[in-house]
Amino acid sequence: MISVLKIAICDDEEKAVALDRQIVEDSLQTHGIGFEITAYTYSRNLLCDILDDHFFYDLILLDIEMPGISGMEIPQKLKNVLPNVRIIFVTSHTEYAIDAFELSIFRYVPKNNLDPKLSDAVIDAARLIELEAGQEYAVRTASCMEKIPYKDILCIRRDGKNSMIVTHSGTSRVRRSLQQVFEDLNTPEFIYIDRGCIVNIIHIMKIIDGMAVLKNGEQLPISRSHLQEVKQKINLFWGAHI
């Protein structure tokens, strides 16, 4: 469970920052969601706080056209330090929408249609972050027990009679079959893409040419027998949670 949503707003125009902030505050207060907001008018200051001073954010609202470091550059610079951060582009430049999808941006909000679209986007992001928080899978060995947050799991692969859990930081072997791990997880964000691999929907950026492309760039093959079902389950999942 998240107690306080940590949010950054970055736009080189102070009036735009103030307007975004007011909409975000009103939306989260209405839904009873706790939050902390840090505002930036210089993108380099945002990056400095995160990369050098290790500030943590759950959600970042970004303008695209900013002097110095543009909003389009920031997601790439943050993907290794804040791999699960949700980013919302708030911008006048609609021509970047396709690029925003390729960068795995959570939502794209045009400035000329800010309210209620920004309010809806922030609440949807908060719900997703809440969904990811607090769930952990326990991996027991002879000497210790490791707890892996569900949100960190990219996929689980069959490893003989056992299973291998793959995360951003490495792999963990589990002395349980793939089906047993699937039943242990018991949550709709994990789906089979073939008989030997389970993937976390939250980390799927797109499906193309029969491959599930994850946010870390890894491409996992989807078996023909599972392809249509995988697409349907992804649509159902996001339809239920966003």
Pair (69, 102) in one structural domain: yes
Higher local confidence (pLDDT), 129 or 19: 19
Domain span at residue 72? 5-132
Pair (18, 128) in one structural domain: yes
Pair (40, 100) in one structural domain: yes
Confidence class for position 238, pLDDT limits 50, 70, 90: confident
Confidence class for position 105, pLDDT limits 50, 70, 90: confident
The last residue of one of the domains, among 132, 147, 176, is: 132
Pair (170, 98) in one structural domain: no
Tokens of 87: 């980013």
Pair (123, 163) in one structural domain: no
User: Looking at residue 240, what is its pLDDT?
Assistant: 65
Higher local confidence (pLDDT), 18 or 235: 18
Pair (14, 120) in one structural domain: yes
Who contacts 144 (Cβ-Cβ below 8 Å, separation ≥6)?
A: none
For residues 198 and 181, the answer to whether their CB atoms sit within 8 Å is: yes
Pair (168, 230) in one structural domain: yes
Nearest-angstrom CA–CA distance, 47 and 50: 5
Q: Say if strands 86-91 and 59-62 run parallel, antiparallel, or are unpaired.
A: parallel
pTM listed for this prediction: 0.62
Q: Say if strands 86-91 and 107-110 run parallel, antiparallel, or are unpaired.
A: parallel
User: Looking at residue 230, what is its pLDDT?
Assistant: 93
User: Looking at residue 241, what is its pLDDT?
Assistant: 56
The last residue of one of the domains, among 84, 115, 132, is: 132
Checking if the pLDDT of 196 tops 90, the result is: yes
User: Looking at residue 96, what is its pLDDT?
Assistant: 56
Backbone angles phi, psi at 87, to 5 degrees: -120, 130
Q: Say if strands 5-10 and 211-214 run parallel, antiparallel, or are unpaired.
A: unpaired
| Partners of 194 in the β-ladder | 197
Please count the structural domains in the chain.
Answer: 2
Nearest-angstrom CA–CA distance, 80 and 152: 13
Which range, 1-5, 42-46, 101-105, has the best average confidence (pLDDT)?
Answer: 42-46
Can you say whether the dihedral through the CA atoms of 177, 183, 188, 193 is positive or negative? Answer: positive
The last residue of one of the domains, among 70, 105, 132, is: 132
Place of tokens 């307007």: 19
User: Looking at residue 146, what is its pLDDT?
Assistant: 78
Pair (153, 126) in one structural domain: no
Confidence class for position 202, pLDDT limits 50, 70, 90: confident
User: Looking at residue 129, what is its pLDDT?
Assistant: 84
Pair (17, 92) in one structural domain: yes
Pair (179, 113) in one structural domain: no
Pair (65, 31) in one structural domain: yes
Exposed / middle / buried, residue 163 (Cβ in 10 Å: 0-12, 13-18, 19+):
buried
Nearest-angstrom CA–CA distance, 241 and 228: 20
| Partners of 207 in the β-ladder | 212
Pair (121, 167) in one structural domain: no
Checking if the pLDDT of 83 tops 60, the result is: yes
Tens of pLDDT along 135-174? Answer: 888 887 666 677 888 888 999 999 999 999 999 888 999 9
Segment 190-214 shows an average pLDDT of 93
User: Looking at residue 140, what is its pLDDT?
Assistant: 74
User: Looking at residue 2, what is its pLDDT?
Assistant: 60
For residues 72 and 96, the answer to whether their CB atoms sit within 8 Å is: yes
Give me the percent of the chain exceeding a pLDDT of 70.
Answer: 89
Segment 15-19 shows an average pLDDT of 96
Segment 44-65 shows an average pLDDT of 93
Higher local confidence (pLDDT), 180 or 140: 180
Task: Give me the CATH number covering residue 88.
Answer: 3.40.50.2300
